[in-house]
Structure 1
Amino acid sequence: MMRSLGLLAALLLSGAAHAAPDGAANPPLTDQFLLDQIELGEEIEVRADGDLNGDGDVDTAFVVASPDERHLYVVLSYRAETDMGHQPGGDFKLEPDPLGPADLSISKGVLTIKDLTGGTTALSATYRYRAATTKDGPRMRLIGLDASVYSRTYAHDGNEMSWNVATGDTITSLLKVSQTGGRGYDKLYTRKFRQPVRTIYMEDTPEAEGELIGATKAK
């Protein structure tokens, strides 16, 4: 069974904290350190490094995968008066049936996760997060979620959604199998509407397909 974020956090805090010399950069987590935290049958599917909390030091997002489960973790650098190290920023479960490794990237303080799962009928989900300061410490906050369900063989129609969680602005479209003889989709019945703004931290990330279904049924 994949270990909980609490256990991983304890290992990070005990194993990665060190004295903070003036002007020194906080070194990023090594691949070996991450490998030391996982259990038999698990692997690091993918990792991405970059500055998420604006301190100039390297933060890390990575996916731990086993045959039955996939989990994304974010580890943020921290710097105090006497020490510096790493602390958990958030985690959530990805769908367990990937059609290839997730795509992680960090750019301008935004963590983007692109994940394709399923089979002939596929779910494409893109999650975007920013680090937020809370009374309980830094936490990754969901700011955007895009999702589409479609047939990889164009055997049926599909649906797609783009949801700006920070503003509530949402766009949905029907993906209609092309009738022109080509293998593709035509985008029809595009709707734009606004959902109530919600604060959603990474641990509470909703299922992409469920949000897509809800958005396409919204009036």
Structure 2
Amino acid sequence: MRILALAALVLAAGTAQAVQRNAVPVLSDAEIQANLNDGEGVEGRIDGDLNGDGDIDTAYIVRGDDSRSLHVQFAARSEFELYHEPAGTLALDAYPLGPAEIVIAKGVLVVTDLTGGTTAIQATYRFRGEKARPKMRLIGLDATLYSRTYAHDGAEMSWNVLTGNVIATTMKLVGSGENATYDKSAVKRFKRPVKAYYMEDTPDADATLGIAS
């Protein structure tokens, strides 16, 4: 009886270790599609380790007729199960000037979005995943407002959310016609209070540009 009990314990331990050794399968397109509403599609996706646990996470943008949002799913594991869990959602402008660029650089999710019309705003969001819980934290936000036809002045802002450091630039329109350009010599630096912003709390680009005013 003792031998049988010992064998059962060894088998159970081996099974648990096998689950731990297995990689969580990458989130499939079919799994994403299964959670979409009618009329929605995937604008873009990227896969990579976003929280440093060695498993592959997925970020993707869902676009509908009047809605658009960024989603992150973390690869996760329990003692006997491999699965995915939501780690953050961000509402985006429903009418961009083109698909957003999504990249993962050194474990950081970088999303660049261009919205507006003749007057455009380019926003770049940087997020890093947390190991202790399924959350994506905002660590940087850059925004640029400019005229695509050089019809007016612009503004530029780079905000390191982790340190609170902000660089704000006034983009003065100089020249005209084919010679029009922006003078970015008017730069000021200041510091904002440091606080944790998670993906759902991310300020929009207009708000980011307004912190210098």
Q: Structure 1 unaligned runs (5+)?
A: 1-19
Q: Secondary structure at the match of 1:28?
A: coil
The equivalent residue for 2:141 is: 145
Contact kept? 1:123, 1:147, Cα under 8 Å:
yes
Residue 84 to residue 194, structure 1, CA distance change in 2 (3 Å): same
Partner of residue 168 from structure 2, selected from 169, 172, 183: 172
Aligned residue in 2 for 1:16: none
What is the letter of the counterpart of residue 63 of structure 1? Answer: I
CA distance in 1: counterparts of 2:131 and 2:47, whole angstroms: 20
User: Is residue 2:191 matched to residue 1:194?
Assistant: yes
Q: 1:205 to 1:22 in 2, by over 3 A?
A: closer
TM-score by length of 1: 0.85
8 Å CA contact 2:119, 2:147 repeated in 1? yes
Q: CA-to-partner distance for each residue in 1:179-202, whole Å, 9 max, x for gaps?
A: 276232110310011111111011
In structure 2, the residue matched to 1:156 is: 152
Distance 2:79 2:30 in 1: 28
Equivalence map 1:1-16=2 (5 Å)? none
Of stretches 50-59 and 166-175 in structure 1, the one that deviates more from structure 2 is 50-59
The alignment partner of 1:25 has SS state of coil
Asked which structure has the greater CA Rg, the reply is 2
Cα distance change on mapping 1:168 and 1:22 into 2, 3 Å: closer
Distance 2:167 2:147 in 1: 20
1:190-219 Cα shifts (integer Å, max 9, x gaps): 00111111110111111111121122x1xx
CA–CA separation in structure 2 for the residues paired with 1:21 and 1:146: 41
Task: Report percent identity of matched pairs.
Answer: 50
Shift of 1:33: 1.7
Q: Does 1:185 align with 2:182?
A: yes
The letter for the 2-side match of 1:95 is D
Counterpart check, 1:210 vs 2:202: no
Q: Report how far residue 133 of structure 1 moved.
A: 4.3
- The runs of 5 or more residues in structure 2 that have no matched partner are 1-17
The normalised TM-score by structure 2 is 0.87
Q: CA RMSD in A?
A: 1.6
Q: Is the CA contact 1:125–1:208 (under 8 Å) kept in the aligned structure 2?
A: yes
Moved more, 64-73 or 163-172: 64-73
Residues 115-148 of structure 1 deviation map (CA, whole Å, 9 limit, x = unaligned): 00010000100000111245xx221000000001
